[in-house]
A and B are shown apart, each in its own frame.
Chain A
Amino acid sequence: MKKSILIIIAAMMSVACEEYIDLRREGPEKMLVVNGNLVAGDTLHTVYLTWGMYDDVKPVEAAHLDCYVNGKLVTSTDKVTEPDRFSYYANAIRFKAPFNAGDEVRIKVDAGDAHAEVTGVAPKAPVVNAVDTSSFMAKNKGGELTGFYMTKVHLQDVAGERNFYRMVMSYESEYRASEVPSGSPYKEGQFLCRASRDIVFDNKYESLLYRNLKTGMEDNSSDVDNYYANEYNLFTDNTFADKEYTLKLAVEKTLLHNYYPNSWSRDEYVPAEYGKICFRVLSMSRSTYTYMNDYAFDNSEQGSWNFIDEIPYPSNVSGGTGMVSIMTPADFCIDLKKR
C-alpha cells in the first residue's frame, strides 16, 4: 500500500508535458549581410556579401557596390568573386578606395531587391611615440625555457574622445643574398624576396590585454578558446585617456623567422634574413569594438555554454545587417639583426 501511494505521488509530481512554439518569422525571407574590415591607408579593400535566411546563409552571387569617400564616388563595381579563403557562406567584392583618418566612407550595395548601406568615418589613429626592446628568458606556453623579446610600445592616446583599439604585431622579412661564392650569378647583398606574417605575441605581460581569468573554463585548460585571453588583443583607453601608455608585449624569439620561400644553393648564395617587427594599433569605433569582442566571445569556450543567450551583434548596415569596420592604423617597425 505504502509503495502504491509513493508511486502515485511520484507519478503526479512528474506529470509534465512539452510543446513547441514556432518562432514568428520576421522581416524578408532573405536579408543582405555585409561584412568587411576596411583599413585607412590600404588601397584595396574587401567586403563579404551573404544572404541571411531564416535557417541558413548563402553567398550572394550577384551584386553592385558603390564606394564614396567624403561624398565622392571612388569605386563602382559589380565584380563578385570568391573570397581569398574559400567559404560556403560568402562571396567577396574587392575594390579600391583610398581614404585616411577623418574621411567619411560610404558603401552602397545592391543585390536583387535588397539595398544596404554603410556610412562611417575613419577614426583618428593613436601615435606610437617610441618602442623599446629588451631580451629575457622565460617559460613559453609549452612550459619550455626560451628567449623572449620584450617590446614596450609607448602609445599616445587620441585626445578628447573615448577610443577603442586593437593591437596587431607582424614579422616582416627581407631576404638578401649572402656568402655569395665567386662565379655565382648573384651579388652579395642582392635583394631576393620578402615575406610577412602575423605574430601571435604573448600578451600575458600586459594586463590591459590579458585578463588573468579562466572563468567558465576547465581548471587545467590552456588559454586556447579562453575569452579572457583576448586572442584579438582588443583594448580601450579607459585607464589612460588622453595620455601615453606603455604596452608591454613579449614575443618568443623563435617566432621571429620566416622560412625562405625559394630553393637555393650554397654554390650560388645563402639567403640572409633581415627581419623587422612591425606594430599596428588599429583605432576603431565603439560598435566595431563591441562586434569584435562579441565575435571573440561567441567563438570561445565560454560562449559555447548552452545556458547563454545568443548575442545581438551590433550592426552598422542599414537595409541589412553585418559590420563593415572602418579602422585607422598607427604603424611602427623595429629592425632586427641580420640572421
Chain B
Amino acid sequence: MRKFTLAALTAFFAVSLSAQNKCTVSGYIRDAATGETLIGAGVMVMMTDAASGGKTSGISSGTKASAATPAANAIGAMSAASASGTKSEEKASATAPGSNATAATKAKSSMANSKIIGAVTNEFGYYTITIPCGNIDLTYSYVGCADVKQNIDLQRDTVINISLLQAASLKASTIVGRKDAGIQSTYMGAMEIPQEMIKNMPVVLGEPDVIKTIQLMPGVQGGMEGFSGIYVRGGGADENLMMLDGTPLYNVSHLLGLLSVFTPEAVKKVTFYKGSFPARYGGRVSSIVDVRTNDGNAKGFHGSVSAGLLSEKLHFEGPIASENTTWSFSARGMHTFLFDRLIKAFGSPANYDFYDINAKVTHRFSDSDKLFAGFYTGRDYFRYSDSDKSSSRYYGPDYEPYTKYEEENTKMNLKWGNTLASVRWNHVFNSKLFANTSVSWNTYKMNMVTNTRELLKSETENYDKQYRYSYTSGIRDLGARIDFDYIPAPTHLIKFGGEFVNHLYRPEVERSRSINSIGGNKETSDKVNDASPNLYGNELSAYIEDDMTFGEHFSFNPGLHLSLFLVNGRTYFCPEPRAAIKVSFGKGWAVKTAYSRMSQYVHQLTSGNLSLPTDLWVPITKNIKPVTSDIVSLGTYYSGLKGWEFSVEGYWKQMNNVLEYKDGKMSFSSAADWEENVEMGQGQSYGVELYVQKTLGRTTGTVSYTLSKTDRIFRDGTINNGKRFPFVYDRRHNFCVSLNQKLGKRVDLSAIWTIASGNWMTVSTRSTLTLSPDGKGMSMVDYISSRNNYRLPPSHRLDFSVNIHKKKRHGERIWNFGMYNAYGAKNPNWVTLDSREVKNPDTGKTTYIPALSKKTFLLFLPSFSYTYKF
C-alpha cells in the first residue's frame, strides 16, 4: 500500500512539474444567438514541434477536417501555474465553414510536424485548456456553428468566454477533445443525441420523443411497438437511469408509455450511455439517459408554440433585466378539446389527459459563479364517471301504486406523475478546479380515488350506500451532490465527487370509507390498510475517475464508483470499478475497450409491457439483493472519411440478482407480497453492434444493426424449473436506417425504416395432465415446454415526416406532416393466446386449434403539427 502511495505521489508531481511554463485558457462557450452555454463544444490549438517547446504556431481554418480524426488525439490541458489571469469577453468573427484550398494545403504540409491540443466544454459549457505560453491561434467549434479563430499572445492564465454563430449549413464539430460521448470519447457505447435528431424523427402521432429516438440506437430494443420503453443490452425496463438535469426521474411515461415526459423543446442535449459508464454515474445497471435542459436565451425573448394531433406545446425563454439572468419555460398538454369530443362521440365515460411543465432560471454572478434553479412537474389524469338513474312504478300489497327511484354513480380519478426541483451552483475555483454543487427534491406519486353510490328511495325501501376508496403510492428523494473537475496536468482530467440521497418509499396505502344509510340508521366505517409502510433508504456514493492521455494515440480512463445503501437496518456496499482504454492508430482508426460494473438498489414491479401508474418502485430488502452488472466491451471506430463515422462494438454483459416474477405470479400490482412473487437470478447478454452515421451535407442519417442474444437463469428452480430461457426482448437481429434529407431551403424529409426479430412469448403446444398433491384431483392443463418458448414474427415498418419551413415577419412557421407505419405492416402490437376455428373441408366438422391472436393497431397512422418559432 505504501509503495502504491509513493508511486502515485511521484506520478502526480511528475505530471505537475512537466506542466511548467504553460498557460491555461478557460471559459464558457456559448451560442451567439441565444447566449446558451454549449455542451461538448471544442477548443483547439495546433502546435508544431517547435511550438511545443514553448512557441505556438497558428493554425488555419483548413486544418479542421484533419483535426476531426481521432489521430488528432484530445489532450485536454490545464496549467500547473496559478497566476491570476486576464479576462476577456470575446465575440470573435466567424469563419465560414469550408475554407480556401490554399490555407488547407498549407495546413496539410504543416501537419506532418504538428500536434493538436484540444478540449471540450463540460455539461455546463465550461472548458479549460493548457498550452505552452506564446502567440497562439485558438479555434472554437461546435456542431452546426461556424468556427471561430482567435489569435492571442498568451503570457499567463487567461479566461476567454466565446460565442459561436450558427452556420448556414450543418457541419460536424471539428474539435476533438475529452468528449463524454461519441466516437471521439474514451468511453464506449456513449452517444450524444442532438436535439435536431429528436425533433426531426418521425414518430407515432407526430410527437417527437427522446426515448423513441434512443430506441433507434444500436443495442437498444424497444418494448411494445410504438411505445417508449427501452431495453438496453439485455437489461430490464427499470434498469435505465433517466436523469433530468442530473436528477433521476422515476416515471418517464405518459399515455401508458406512448410518450416520454421529456418535452423536446426544453431539451438542450441528451447523452446516452450503454456500455462503459463514467464513474460519476451509478444507480442503474443497464443505461444512463442524461437529459440537460435549456438555460434560457440571454439575448432576447424567444420561443415557439406548436399544436399537433396529440398535444400542444409552448416554449419561451429570455433574459431577465440583463444577460446575466435568463429563464426558460416549457409546457406541454394533451388536447383535451379534441379528445373530449372524440371520447364523447364514442359515448365513453372515461377521459384522459396529461401535462408537463419545465421551468429554469439561471443567474451568472460572475465568470466564476453561476446558479441554476430548475423545476419540472408532470401529471397524467384518468377520469371515469358514470351514472345510472331510473324511476319505476310499482304496486304495493294494497295495490296502491308507488314510485321507486334508483340511482347508481361511479366516479374514479386516477392521477400520477413526477415533480422535481433542483438548485445547482457552478463555481470555478481557479483554472484547475471546477465544481458543481446541487441539491434536489424529487417525488413520484400515484393516487386513485373511487366513489360509488347506490341510492334507492321508495315507500317500502330506503337506502343510501356510499363507498369511497383511495389508493396512494409514491416515492420521494432528497439529494445533495457535489462534482469536481480537476486538471492537475495537461494529461489528466480528474473528476470526483459524492452524492447522498435519502429515499422514502411509500409503496401502498389504501383507505376506504363506507357510509350506509338504511332506513333511518346511518353507519360509517373507515379502514386504512398500509400494506407496506413507509420505508426509508439512504444512499451514499462517491466516485473518482481520471481521463488520462499518453501521447497522441493512447488514452486511459480508470474510475471507481463506491456506493452504500442502508435500508431496514441493513447495509449494502458495492464497489464499482470502471475502466476505458482508447488507442488511436491514425487516419481515423481507433480501438476502444472498456469494463464497467454497475449496481442498482431499486426495482420496479411492472404489470407487463405497458407502463402503468400502478407500477411500483420498491427498494432492495434483506432478502432481495442489489442487482449488479459487469460489462466488457471492445470496439473499433473509423472517422477518416469526412462527415462519416463508423463503429463496430462487441459486448458481453453479466447481470446478477436480476428479478423476474415467478412462474404464473405476475400482474399483482401489490407491494405487500412482492418478495413472495419474485425470484433473483442471473442474466447474460452478448452481441455485436454496428453503427454508421453521416453527419455532413444535405443528406444525413444513421444505420444501425445489432446482433445479440440475451437470456436468464434462475437456479433455484422457481422459474422455468431452473433452466436457462431467453429474455422476453431477446431480439436476435435489429436493423434500422434513418435518413434526413434537405430538399431546398424550406423542406426537409425524414424517414426511418426498421426491422427486428420478434419478441419471445410463452405458449402452450399441447395438453397435459397434472395430479393434485393429495392425489385426489387431476387437471387438464396446457403443456408449456419452457418460459418464452415462442418467438413472435419479426416486425418492420417505414415512418416518414416532412417539415415545411417558412420565414415569417417575426419568426418561422413549420408544418410537419408524418406517417407512421407508412406501408401498413401488420406488426404484432398486442398478442394473446387464443384459438382459431378450422373447418375440415371433407367432413365439414369444425374444430378449434390453439393460435395466437395478433392485433395490429398502429397502421397508416398519419400526424401533423404546426409550430411557430420566434
CB-based contact A6/B781 at 8 Å: no
Interface-central residue, A21, A89, A305, by most chain B CB under 10 Å: A21
Interface flags for B811-835 (1: CB within 8 Å of A; 0: not) read 0000000000000001000010110
CB-based contact A19/B769 at 8 Å: no
With the chains together, A322 CA to B850 CA distance in Å? 21
Interface flags for A290-326 (1: CB within 8 Å of B; 0: not) read 1110111111001101011111111100000111000
CB-based contact A7/B345 at 8 Å: yes
Task: Give me the 9 closest cross-chain CB pairs, A-B, nearest first.
Answer: A16-B857, A35-B771, A312-B784, A52-B768, A292-B773, A232-B773, A21-B852, A314-B721, A20-B851
Residue in A20, A296, A308 whose beta carbon sits within 8 Å of that of B852 in the complex:
A20
Residue in B769, B833, B834, B857 whose beta carbon sits within 8 Å of that of A33 in the complex:
B769
CB-based contact B342/A6 at 8 Å: yes
Q: Which chain B residues border A35 with CB–CB below 8 Å?
A: 769-771, 778
Stretch at the interface among B44-52, B369-377, B799-807, B859-867: B859-867
With the chains together, A302 CA to B776 CA distance in Å? 21
For the A-B complex with A89-B778, A215-B672, A297-B664 known, give 7 more contacts whose Cβ atoms are closer than 8 Å: A17-B856, A23-B790, A52-B766, A53-B767, A89-B780, A290-B718, A323-B771
Interface flags for B762-806 (1: CB within 8 Å of A; 0: not) read 111111111111111111111111110110110000000000000
CB distance from B827 to the nearest CB of A (A): 11
CB-based contact A310/B764 at 8 Å: yes
With the chains together, A196 CA to B337 CA distance in Å? 72
Q: Which chain B residues border A57 with CB–CB below 8 Å?
A: 767-769, 780
CB-based contact B309/A311 at 8 Å: no
Query: What are 27 A-B pairs at a CB distance below 8 A?
Result: A10-B346, A15-B857, A17-B826, A18-B853, A20-B852, A21-B793, A21-B852, A48-B769, A52-B768, A54-B765, A54-B767, A56-B780, A87-B778, A90-B778, A215-B668, A234-B773, A286-B716, A290-B717, A292-B773, A294-B770, A297-B664, A307-B608, A308-B666, A308-B667, A312-B784, A315-B721, A323-B770
Residue in A6, A27, A310, A323 whose beta carbon sits within 8 Å of that of B345 in the complex:
A6
Interface-central residue, B664, B781, B793, by most chain A CB under 10 Å: B664
The residues in A between 13 and 50 inclusive whose CB is less than 8 angstroms from any CB of B are 13-27, 31, 33, 35-37, 46, 48, 50
**CB contact under 8 A between A211 and B769, given known A6-B342, A297-B664:** no
Answer whether residue B511 sits at the interface, using C-beta atoms and an 8 A cutoff.
no
Interface flags for A123-138 (1: CB within 8 Å of B; 0: not) read 0000000000000000
Q: Which chain A residues border B854 with CB–CB below 8 Å?
A: 18-21
CB distance from B94 to the nearest CB of A (A): 46
CB-based contact A216/B764 at 8 Å: no
Answer whether residue A85 sits at the interface, using C-beta atoms and an 8 A cutoff.
yes
Interface-central residue, B673, B786, B848, by most chain A CB under 10 Å: B673
CB-based contact A295/B772 at 8 Å: yes
The residues in B between 655 and 670 inclusive whose CB is less than 8 angstroms from any CB of A are 663-668, 670
Answer whether residue A159 sits at the interface, using C-beta atoms and an 8 A cutoff.
no
CB distance from B846 to the nearest CB of A (A): 13
Answer whether residue A1 sits at the interface, using C-beta atoms and an 8 A cutoff.
no
What residue in chain A is nearest B850 (Cβ atoms)? Answer: A23
Answer whether residue B836 sits at the interface, using C-beta atoms and an 8 A cutoff.
yes
With the chains together, A313 CA to B325 CA distance in Å? 65
With the chains together, A18 CA to B830 CA distance in Å? 9
Answer whether residue B130 sits at the interface, using C-beta atoms and an 8 A cutoff.
no
CB-based contact B861/A296 at 8 Å: no
The residues in B between 704 and 723 inclusive whose CB is less than 8 angstroms from any CB of A are 716-718, 720-721
Interface-central residue, A36, A53, A312, A321, by most chain B CB under 10 Å: A312
With the chains together, A317 CA to B770 CA distance in Å? 13
Q: Which chain B residues border A17 with CB–CB below 8 Å?
A: 826, 855-856, 859
CB-based contact B667/A313 at 8 Å: no
What residue in chain A is nearest B836 (Cβ atoms)? Answer: A20
CB-based contact A211/B767 at 8 Å: no
Interface-central residue, B607, B783, B790, B857, by most chain A CB under 10 Å: B783
What residue in chain A is nearest B764 (Cβ atoms)? Answer: A310
Q: Which chain B residues border A161 with CB–CB below 8 Å?
A: none
The residues in B between 159 and 173 inclusive whose CB is less than 8 angstroms from any CB of A are none
Q: Which chain A residues border B665 with CB–CB below 8 Å?
A: 297, 302, 308
Q: Name B's A-contacting residues (CB within 8 A).
A: 309, 338, 341-342, 345-346, 607-608, 663-668, 670, 672-673, 676, 716-718, 720-721, 762-787, 789-790, 792-793, 826, 831, 833-834, 836, 847-857, 859-862
With the chains together, A286 CA to B718 CA distance in Å? 9
CB-based contact A313/B608 at 8 Å: no
CB-based contact B309/A27 at 8 Å: no
CB distance from A60 to the nearest CB of B (A): 11
**CB contact under 8 A between A23 and B721, given known A215-B670, A296-B773, A312-B784:** no
Answer whether residue A9 sits at the interface, using C-beta atoms and an 8 A cutoff.
yes
With the chains together, A20 CA to B838 CA distance in Å? 12
CB distance from A28 to the nearest CB of B (A): 9
Q: Which chain A residues border B768 with CB–CB below 8 Å?
A: 31, 33, 50, 52, 57, 313, 321-322
CB-based contact A215/B836 at 8 Å: no
Q: Which chain B residues border A56 with CB–CB below 8 Å?
A: 767, 780
With the chains together, A15 CA to B859 CA distance in Å? 7
Answer whether residue A198 sits at the interface, using C-beta atoms and an 8 A cutoff.
yes
Answer whether residue A166 sits at the interface, using C-beta atoms and an 8 A cutoff.
yes
CB distance from A131 to the nearest CB of B (A): 22
Answer whether residue A213 sits at the interface, using C-beta atoms and an 8 A cutoff.
yes
Q: Which chain A residues border B338 with CB–CB below 8 Å?
A: 6, 9
Q: Which chain B residues border A55 with CB–CB below 8 Å?
A: 766-767, 847-850
Answer whether residue A12 sits at the interface, using C-beta atoms and an 8 A cutoff.
yes
With the chains together, A253 CA to B771 CA distance in Å? 31
CB-based contact A312/B767 at 8 Å: no
CB-based contact B342/A27 at 8 Å: no
CB distance from B779 to the nearest CB of A (A): 6
CB-based contact B773/A295 at 8 Å: yes
The residues in A between 197 and 236 inclusive whose CB is less than 8 angstroms from any CB of B are 198, 211, 213, 215-216, 228, 232, 234
CB-based contact A298/B856 at 8 Å: no
Q: Which chain B residues border A31 with CB–CB below 8 Å?
A: 766, 768, 783
CB-based contact B664/A311 at 8 Å: yes
CB distance from B463 to the nearest CB of A (A): 19
Residue in A12, A216, A321 whose beta carbon sits within 8 Å of that of B861 in the complex:
A12
**CB contact under 8 A between A309 and B666, given known A50-B769, A52-B768, A55-B767:** yes
What residue in chain A is nearest B767 (Cβ atoms)? Answer: A57
Answer whether residue A287 sits at the interface, using C-beta atoms and an 8 A cutoff.
yes
With the chains together, A292 CA to B765 CA distance in Å? 22
Q: Which chain A residues border B773 with CB–CB below 8 Å?
A: 37, 166, 232, 234, 292, 295-296
Residue in A36, A53, A90, A297 whose beta carbon sits within 8 Å of that of B766 in the complex:
A53
CB-based contact A23/B763 at 8 Å: yes
Q: Which chain B residues border A322 with CB–CB below 8 Å?
A: 768-769, 771
With the chains together, A313 CA to B834 CA distance in Å? 21
CB distance from B851 to the nearest CB of A (A): 4
**CB contact under 8 A between A312 and B762, given known A48-B769, A295-B772:** yes
Interface flags for A155-169 (1: CB within 8 Å of B; 0: not) read 000000000001010
Q: Which chain B residues border A21 with CB–CB below 8 Å?
A: 792-793, 831, 851-852, 854
CB-based contact B850/A211 at 8 Å: no
CB-based contact A299/B721 at 8 Å: no
Interface flags for A70-113 (1: CB within 8 Å of B; 0: not) read 00000000000000010101100000000000000000000000
Q: Which chain A residues border B668 with CB–CB below 8 Å?
A: 215-216, 302
Q: Which chain B residues border A297 with CB–CB below 8 Å?
A: 664-665
Q: Which chain B residues border A309 with CB–CB below 8 Å?
A: 663-664, 666, 762, 784, 787
Interface-central residue, B670, B773, B789, B860, by most chain A CB under 10 Å: B773
With the chains together, A23 CA to B849 CA distance in Å? 9
CB-based contact B779/A19 at 8 Å: no
CB-based contact A23/B785 at 8 Å: no
Residue in B721, B792, B860 whose beta carbon sits within 8 Å of that of A312 in the complex:
B721
CB distance from B187 to the nearest CB of A (A): 38
Q: Which chain B residues border A312 with CB–CB below 8 Å?
A: 663, 720-721, 762, 784-787, 789
What residue in chain B is nearest A234 (Cβ atoms)? Answer: B773
